[in-house]
Chain A
Amino acid sequence: MPSIVPALEWLEGLAWTTAIRESVWGYPMIETAHVASIVAFAGLVIMMDLRLVGLAFTHAPLAQIQRRLFPWQIAGLVPSTATGLLLCCIDPMRYYGNVFFRVKLALLALAGLNAVVFHLKTYRRAERWDEDPQATATARLAGVVSLLLWSGTIVSGRLIAYNWFA
């Protein structure tokens, strides 16, 4: 399989990525925006997951919480992803070699997959979530998995800063 390293090195050598990498304001702004938008996005995901597992907002029908939070979650996901991609472009070789970054990507993919599966499987039968014990059980499992995967993504993201395995 051809290596992506040459492509990453090319990215790293570009004038604009180098400029941001060496910047006094640019990099801090992008990284801060990344963290802030993730906190907002993941915060809402966690709220919905707490409802899914029945720990909070239980007075509200599950379908309503899911439907009403979803657009805001997407609103948080867009800047999170955009800033994340930007950060990858700015310092590609650093992240490529970082084990925690790779773990984060894997967990992120799984979290996204879990969300898509949940969305496709249950969204249409959303009204039944609260009456049907089977649906509730599925929702509960999806919530637990989601909480674990997103927490894992956040934790591994934080650990990128540590060069233990460099």
Chain B
Amino acid sequence: MRTGSGSRVFSASPKLYQILLVAYPAEHRREYGPLMAQLFRDLCRDTYQRSGLLGLVGVWIPTLWDLVKTAASEHIDVLRKGSLPQMQNHPLIPVSWLRVGLAILPGLLVIGTRSGFFEDMLGRRISQVLEPNGLLVLCALLIVTGLVLGRKLVAWSFPALGILLFGVWWLVPPVAAFGVYQVYKQKGLRIPRSGKIILCLLGLVFAADFILSVLSDHNPEKLAAIVAGLSPLLLWIGLLLLPIAIGLPLAQREGLLAGLFIVAAEFILFFEIFDPSYALGMWTSNQALIVAAEVVPAVGFLVVVPIWIMRSRSTHGRIWGLLLPVFAALIGTEAISGTVRPYYTGIWLTRAIGIAQFLATLALAVVLYVMNRQDGSPTPNQEALVH
């Protein structure tokens, strides 16, 4: 056996590899982790005896690549085998067009006022009354009507609730924090491990974003701006992954109610963090383009998504209807606003508010859903469609 620094590297290598095995999914690690560690130990031993320290370097480089490649592949395998096929595809009765119409009514009002259609048709004064005051009254009316008729929060009033939450976001976090604590306590609900990891990463990236934003504000060089732009990109990736990690299992388990709340939360998030019309306004003065950037997402979130979800004939259709428009909107808006964000000094606050709103709304969705279920409701997939 050789001695010196090579010997230390030799003895440390298997331990380090054992630590790195954490990259694999838990089940794979439990089953094959000890065997992989033993194989690597054997490989290190033989290589070190034959070729010394240099040989160990030659073992580590391909092993690291092998680890990255196969860990990713095993995780994809788990997702493919575990999550998606387990999503039961129940046949559903589509919600009646009357209820769908009630669900999209606030959206139509938003689109009519923001596009200038109502102003042209009804005059500026009436248009200004319709939004925001008329919109808020309509939303409140829809929710109350649903509560009276259905004796609980009905599915077709969710978009209206989402819009109302947009206005009172500051009320949501403390209530939701208490609510989610109660739900976790009573129902034993657990956020998936991947969701917790993404949440932690989002927190870290947000902290890094804050520091980098401050640094770049004091050092207006191009390199600093580019570095500051990295963390919003990571944050964006995290925000895309979060609904998959938390939203999808939640929608899968808790049904349409939770799903629609995620849409509402994403709508709020979308407008708070990625305001396409604002970003576009920095590039062009073309009003038609700016109006389109406001109206198109509103059409997507407040009209297309509710129709898609409520008229869906299967749970699979509903979940894809929930997620795909959200991703499409986020990606589209990122293309517009990504380039200006590093120079927008107040963005960190806006983003923090957006994340808080998103998480709080998500938590509120869980609370309300559990409240609904305790009311003696039928199965999750059917209940929201009945009312």
The reply to whether chain A is a binding partner of chain B is no
